[in-house]
C-alpha cells in the first residue's frame, strides 16, 4: 500500500489536506486535567476508556495526569496499548473464543490485565488458558445495573460467578463493573442523577454482598463521561471509565459543557454548483452519522443538509454564500468514537499549527 | 503497531476470529461476470467503481472480466489502484487543492488518469499542475442530471467548461459524466426506469450539444448498481459506474435480486444474559448503520434489535434461544461500502474455507 501523504509539523491547520481529523491538543489536555482534578478532589479513581482515542499517546497523557489504568473494549485495542507501553489494562468487555483468549493471556507477560465476564463457561475458558500459560489474569463480574446489554444481576448470579472466579486457577477475582450506558446521554441533569445514582448503588450493593460472602472487591468500576460527577460521588465506586470526555463530541455537548470540544473534521469545499449549496469532500466515510449530522463550526449561515458516502452537502445563506471551491470548513462530529475509527491518523494541532500526525494504532482493531 | 492476528488459508469460515468481513469469492466473481455479460450483450462499457471494494485484487478481477477502466472517488484510492497495477482510472469526483492535484498529476506517470470537474477555477488549477509537470490529464464535465449534489447543468454551463478544458494546456477533454444517485435505490422498477432514463437522456443530450459545438465526447459515463439495466440501455451512454453490484448489500437487495449477496460480517455471541437476548461482538465499529440495522442470516427467530459501539444486541426466540456464548452468527450489512471501510482485511472464502486474508488497501483513504 502506498504511504499516505502526511504534512510536516508547523503547517497551519488551514493548509492541512482534507478530510482531516483535527485534535486541539491544548483543549484535549485541559479535558484530561479537568476530569483528573475533579476525581482527585473526590478521591475517585480515573480509568479512562481508550475506545475513544485508540492511541497510546493519549493513554499516556491520561496516566501521566494520574489515571490508575486504561480501559479497552477489545483485545486488539489492548494489544496496541500494551505494545505502546501501557502497563495497567482493564478490558471492560467479555472476551470469548480460543484465539482471543490466547492473545489476552499473552498480554499478561507485559502488563497487568483484568477482564470482565458474565458467563461461567467463559470463566472456565479463561482459567484453562491462563493456568496453562502459567499466568494470572484479573477477572471482574459485569453486573447489569439497568442498561440490559451484557452483565448478570447483582446478588445470587454475581455471587456464583465471583466464587467460580475466586476458585479458578490462573484467575484473580478483582471485583465488579457496571456501565450505566442507558443514562450517560440523558439530557436532563436531575433525571440523569436519579438514574445513574440508582445504577451505581446497585453496583456498590453487589460488591458489598460479595464482601459479606468473603470475596473482597478491589475494583467497583462504572461511569461514563455524562455521569462522571454523579457516579463519581457514590460511595463505594472505586473508579470511572469515562472515554469521550477527552475530545467531547456534538452529542455530549448537548448533555453538558463540563468538557470542551477538542475534535473536529476539516473539509474542503469541492463544488459550489448553485446559490444556496456548497459540497465538501467529507461524507460518511469521513464523519460518522450514527448520532446525527455534524455541525459547521464558526460559519454563520452554513448548515450540513446531508452526507452521502464521499460528499457533504451544505446549505448556505447570507455570509456563507461567500464560500468558494477550495475553502476549508470545520465540522463538529456528533459522535467522536465512531468518527475517529474511520481515520488512520490524527492531525494534532496546537495554537493553529500542526504539532504531529499521530497514528491511530487501535483503529479498526475490533477483534 | 502490533500486527493483527490473521488466520491461515484453509481455515473453515466458522473458525475465523470475529468480527470478520467475509466475502464469498464465488458469489462476487459471479456478480462481476453477470454485469459484464449483460454489458457485452448490450454493447455497453463497464467502469466499476472501486469505492465499494477499495482493493486492487477486485479491480483486477473486474478488468479481467472485460471492464474498460476503474472509477475512484478520491486520489488516495486512485493511488492504491495505480500502485496495484490498474492502468485506467476515472476519478468520478472533483479533486480540489494543490496537494491533491499534485498527487493526481503524479499518477499520470503510471496510468491513464481522467478526473471530473464542475468549476472553472479547478480546471485552471489542474491545467497549471499538469502542464508544469509535462503530463496530460483527461477531464470530463460532471453534469447534474437530477441528483442536485455536484455538477453543472447540461447546455451552456457544460459547454463553457468543456471549451475551457479543451483549450487548457495539459488537459485532454474526454466528455461528460452524471450520476443519478437520487434514483439508484428507488424500490419501484417503473419509477426507477422513468427517472433514470430521464437522467441518462439529459446526459446524452449534453454530450450531443458538445459534439455540435465541435467537442467530441469519448466518455458519457453514468449509472449505478440499481440502474445498470436502465441507464445501460440508453443510446449514447458509453459506460456504467456500478460499484455495489460486486458484493451487494441489504439495502440494494431491497431494490432487486439481479446480483447476489457476497458480503457478510461474522460475529460471535459474547453474552447470553437472559432469555430472549444474545449480545455479539459486532457493533457500529464493525457494521455501518447509515442505511439501517444488519440482518441475521439463516437463524430463524434471531433479529438485530440494536447496535452500540462494540456490541450487537439480538432478540432471540424459538430455535434461536439455543444460541450460546461462543456461537458464530452471520450478519448482512445494509450498506456494504461503509461497512468495508471499517476493516483492514477481507476474509475471502470459497466453499466455506478461507482462501486468503486480503488487505483493504484503500480503506480510510478519504484524501
Q: Do B298 and B243 share a structural domain? A: no
pLDDT band of B4, cuts 50, 70, 90: confident
Please judge whether B325 and A367 are an interchain contact, meaning their C-beta atoms are less than 8 angstroms apart.
no
pLDDT band of B173, cuts 50, 70, 90: very high
Mark out the alpha helices in chain B (DSSP H runs).
Answer: 25-41, 56-65, 75-83, 98-107, 120-133, 156-166, 189-212, 228-231, 250-253, 336-340
Nearest CA in chain A to B288: A290
Q: Which of A184, A215, A247 is the C-terminal boundary of a domain? A: A247
Q: From the CA of B74, how many Å to the nearest CA of chain A?
A: 8
Q: CA A203 to CA A221: how far, in whole Å?
A: 8
Q: Which of B198, B218, B247 is the C-terminal boundary of a domain? A: B247
- List C-alpha distances in Å: B157 to A178, B149, B162, B181: 61, 16, 9, 21
In a domain? residue B367: no
Q: CA A286 to CA A21: how far, in whole Å?
A: 8
- Which residue range forms the structural domain that includes residue B299? 13-21+258-359
Q: CA A319 to CA A300: how far, in whole Å?
A: 7
Task: Examine the pLDDT at B2 and tell me if it is beyond 90.
Answer: no
Q: Percent of chain A scored above 70 by pLDDT?
A: 99
Residue A297 C-alpha from the chain's centroid: 23
pLDDT in tens, A117-142: 999 999 999 999 999 999 999 999 99
Kindly state the greatest CA–CA separation across chain A: 72
DSSP string, B40-102: HHTT-EE--BTTTT--HHHHHHHHHHT-S-EEESSHHHHHHHHHTT--EEEEEEE--SHHHHH
Chain B contact for A149 (CB, 8 A cutoff): yes
Chain A contact for B83 (CB, 8 A cutoff): yes
Residue A90 C-alpha from the chain's centroid: 13
ipTM for the complex?
0.97
Q: Which residues of A touch B279 (CB under 8 A)?
A: 149-150
Residue A5's pLDDT is what?
Answer: 79
Q: Average pLDDT, stretch B111-130?
A: 98
Q: CA B60 to CA B277: how far, in whole Å?
A: 43
CB B91 within 8 A of CB B74: yes
pLDDT in tens, B177-202: 999 999 999 999 999 999 999 999 99
Q: Average pLDDT, stretch B46-53?
A: 98
Residue B97's pLDDT is what?
Answer: 97
Q: Do A201 and A83 share a structural domain? A: yes
Count A/B contacts: CB-CB distance under 8 Å.
185
CB B140 within 8 A of CB B118: no
Q: Given the C-alpha cell 444556496, which residue does it identify? A: A276
In a domain? residue B97: yes
- List C-alpha distances in Å: B133 to A149, B111, B124, B173, B367: 58, 15, 14, 18, 21
Please judge whether B367 and A2 are an interchain contact, meaning their C-beta atoms are less than 8 angstroms apart.
no
Chain B contact for A287 (CB, 8 A cutoff): no
Q: What is the CATH number of the domain that holds B226?
A: 3.20.20.10
Q: Do B345 and B311 share a structural domain? A: yes
Q: Do B292 and B224 share a structural domain? A: no
- Nearest Cα to B227, choosing from B273, B271, B281, B180? B180
Please judge whether A310 and B73 are an interchain contact, meaning their C-beta atoms are less than 8 angstroms apart.
yes
CB-neighbour burial class of residue B212 (10 A; exposed 0-12, middle 13-18, buried 19+): exposed
- Nearest Cα to B265, choosing from B279, B280, B282, B248? B282
Task: Examine the pLDDT at B277 and tell me if it is beyond 80.
Answer: yes
Residue B1's pLDDT is what?
Answer: 57
pLDDT band of B152, cuts 50, 70, 90: very high
- Nearest Cα to A116, choosing from A81, A145, A87? A145
Q: Do A329 and A227 share a structural domain? A: no
In a domain? residue B364: no
Q: Which residues of A touch B74 (CB under 8 A)?
A: 281, 310
Rg for chain B, CA atoms, rounded: 22
pLDDT band of B5, cuts 50, 70, 90: confident
CB-neighbour burial class of residue B260 (10 A; exposed 0-12, middle 13-18, buried 19+): middle
Q: CA B20 to CA A76: how far, in whole Å?
A: 13
Q: CA A151 to CA A148: how far, in whole Å?
A: 8
Q: Which residues of B touch A51 (CB under 8 A)?
A: 309-310
Residue A3's pLDDT is what?
Answer: 75
The closest CB to that of A366, out of B1, B80, B286, belongs to: B286
Q: Do B311 and B271 share a structural domain? A: yes
Q: Do B59 and B45 share a structural domain? A: yes
Q: Which residues of B touch A95 (CB under 8 A)?
A: 270
Would you give the DSSP letter of residue B318?
A: G
**Residue A124 CB: number of other CB atoms within 10 A?**
13
Which residues lie across from A312 on neighbouring strands? A280, A307
- Nearest Cα to A242, choosing from A81, A92, A342, A40? A92
Would you give the DSSP letter of residue A311?
A: -
Q: Which of B247, B269, B295 is the C-terminal boundary of a domain? A: B247
pLDDT band of A13, cuts 50, 70, 90: very high
Helix and strand counts by DSSP (H, E) for chain A: 10, 17
Q: Which of residues 200-259 of A touch B (CB under 8 A)?
A: none
The closest CB to that of A285, out of B149, B152, B366, belongs to: B366
Q: Which long-range contacts (CB under 8 A, 24 or more apart) does B256-260 make?
A: B256/B189, B256/B226, B258/B34, B258/B228, B258/B229, B259/B31, B259/B34, B259/B35, B259/B225, B260/B27, B260/B30, B260/B31
Q: Do B343 and B218 share a structural domain? A: no
The closest CB to that of A118, out of B273, B281, B308, belongs to: B273
B205: Cβ–Cβ under 8 A, 6 or more apart, which residues?
Answer: B154
In a domain? residue B8: no
pLDDT in tens, B205-258: 999 999 999 999 999 999 999 999 999 999 999 999 999 999 999 999 999 999
pLDDT band of B6, cuts 50, 70, 90: confident
Q: Do A156 and A222 share a structural domain? A: yes
Q: CA A265 to CA B366: how far, in whole Å?
A: 12
Question: Cα-flanking dihedrals φ and ψ of residue B142, to 5°?
Answer: -85, 120
Q: Average pLDDT, stretch B70-82?
A: 98
The closest CB to that of A271, out of B2, B119, B279, belongs to: B119
Q: Do A282 and A243 share a structural domain? A: no
Residue A1's pLDDT is what?
Answer: 57
Choose the mutation target among A125, A309, A329 for the interface with B, i.e. most B CBs under 10 Å.
A309
Q: From the CA of A7, how many Å to the nearest CA of chain B?
A: 10
Query: A5-19, A219-233, B23-37, B64-78: which range is least confident on average?
Result: A5-19
Q: Average pLDDT, stretch B136-151?
A: 98
Q: From the CA of B96, how many Å to the nearest CA of chain A?
A: 6
Please judge whether B271 and A79 are an interchain contact, meaning their C-beta atoms are less than 8 angstroms apart.
no
CB B307 within 8 A of CB B269: no
Quick one: angle between helices A56-65 and A75-83, nearest 10? 70
Q: What is the CATH number of the domain that holds B299?
A: 2.40.37.20
Cell of residue A126, nine digits: 479463561
In a domain? residue A73: yes
In a domain? residue B365: no
Chain B contact for A50 (CB, 8 A cutoff): no
pLDDT in tens, A72-113: 999 999 999 999 999 999 999 999 999 999 999 999 999 999
Q: Percent of chain B scored above 70 by pLDDT?
A: 99
Chain A contact for B118 (CB, 8 A cutoff): yes
Q: Average pLDDT, stretch B300-319?
A: 97
Q: Given the C-alpha cell 483527461, which residue does it identify? A: B138
In a domain? residue A134: yes
Chain A contact for B181 (CB, 8 A cutoff): yes
Q: CA B99 to CA B74: how far, in whole Å?
A: 13
- Nearest Cα to B87, choosing from B99, B78, B74? B78
Q: CA B97 to CA B241: how far, in whole Å?
A: 25
In a domain? residue A278: yes
Q: Average pLDDT, stretch A10-15?
A: 95
Q: Do A236 and A282 share a structural domain? A: no
**Residue B213 CB: number of other CB atoms within 10 A?**
12
Domain count, chain A: 2
Q: CA A122 to CA A142: how far, in whole Å?
A: 13
Task: Examine the pLDDT at A2 and tell me if it is beyond 80.
Answer: no
Using DSSP's 3-state secondary structure scheme, residue A207 falls into helix
CB B330 within 8 A of CB B297: yes
DSSP string, A65-79: HT-S-EEESSHHHHH
Nearest CA in chain A to B125: A326
Using DSSP's 3-state secondary structure scheme, residue B323 falls into coil
Q: Do A144 and A114 share a structural domain? A: yes
Please judge whether A94 and B152 are an interchain contact, meaning their C-beta atoms are less than 8 angstroms apart.
no
Amino acid at each position: 500500500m502506498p504511504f499516505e501523504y502526511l504534512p510536516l509539523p508547523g503547517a497551519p491547520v488551514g493548509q492541512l489536506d482534507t478530510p482531516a481529523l483535527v485534535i486541539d491538543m491544548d483543549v484535549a489536555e485541559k479535558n484530561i486535567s479537568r476530569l483528573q482534578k475533579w476525581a482527585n478532589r473526590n478521591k475517585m479513581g480515573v480509568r479512562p476508556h481508550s475506545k475513544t482515542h485508540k492511541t497510546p499517546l493519549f493513554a499516556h497523557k491520561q496516566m501521566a495526569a494520574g489515571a490508575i489504568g486504561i480501559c479497552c473494549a477489545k483485545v486488539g485495542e489492548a494489544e496496541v496499548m500494551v505494545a505502546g507501553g501501557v502497563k495497567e489494562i482493564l478490558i471492560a468487555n467479555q472476551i470469548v473464543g480460543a484465539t482471543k483468549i490466547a492473545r489476552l493471556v499473552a498480554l499478561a507477560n507485559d502488563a497487568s490485565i483484568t477482564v470482565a465476564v458474565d458467563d461461567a463457561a467463559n470463566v472456565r475458558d479463561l482459567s484453562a488458558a491462563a493456568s496453562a500459560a502459567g499466568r494470572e489474569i484479573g477477572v471482574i463480574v459485569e453486573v447489569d445495573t439497568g442498561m440490559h446489554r451484557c452483565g448478570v444481576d447483582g446478588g445470587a448470579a454475581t455471587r456464583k460467578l465471583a466464587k467460580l472466579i475466586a476458585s479458578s486457577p490462573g484467575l484473580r477475582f478483582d471485583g465488579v463493573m457496571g456501565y450505566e450506558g442507558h443514562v450517560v446521554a440523558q439530557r436532563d441533569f436531575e433525571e440523569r442523577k436519579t438514574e445513574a445514582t440508582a445504577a451505581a448503588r446497585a453496583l456498590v450493593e453487589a460488591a458489598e454482598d460479595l464482601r459479606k460472602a468473603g470475596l473482597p472487591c478491589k475494583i467497583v468500576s462504572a461511569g461514563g463521561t455524562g455521569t462522571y460527577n454523579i457516579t463519581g460521588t457514590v460511595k463505594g465506586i472505586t473508579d470511572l471509565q469515562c472515554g469521550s470526555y477527552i475530545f467531547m463530541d456534538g452529542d455530549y455537548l448537548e448533555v453538558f459543557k463540563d468538557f470542551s470540544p477538542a475534535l473536529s473534521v476539516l473539509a474542503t469545499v469541492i463544488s459550489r454548483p448553485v446559490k444556496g449549496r456548497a459540497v465538501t469532500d467529507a461524507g460518511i466515510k469521513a464523519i460518522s452519522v450514527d448520532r446525527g449530522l455534524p455541525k459547521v463550526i464558526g460559519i454563520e449561515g452554513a448548515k450540513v443538509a446531508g452526507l452521502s458516502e464521499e460528499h457533504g452537502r451544505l446549505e448556505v445563506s447570507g455570509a456563507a454564500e461567500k464560500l468558494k471551491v477550495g475553502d476549508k470548513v470545520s465540522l463538529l462530529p456528533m459522535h467522536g468514537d465512531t468518527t475517529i475509527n474511520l481515520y488512520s491518523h490524527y492531525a494534532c494541532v496546537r495554537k493553529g499549527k500542526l504539532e504531529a500526525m499521530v497514528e491511530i494504532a487501535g483503529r479498526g482493531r475490533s477483534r
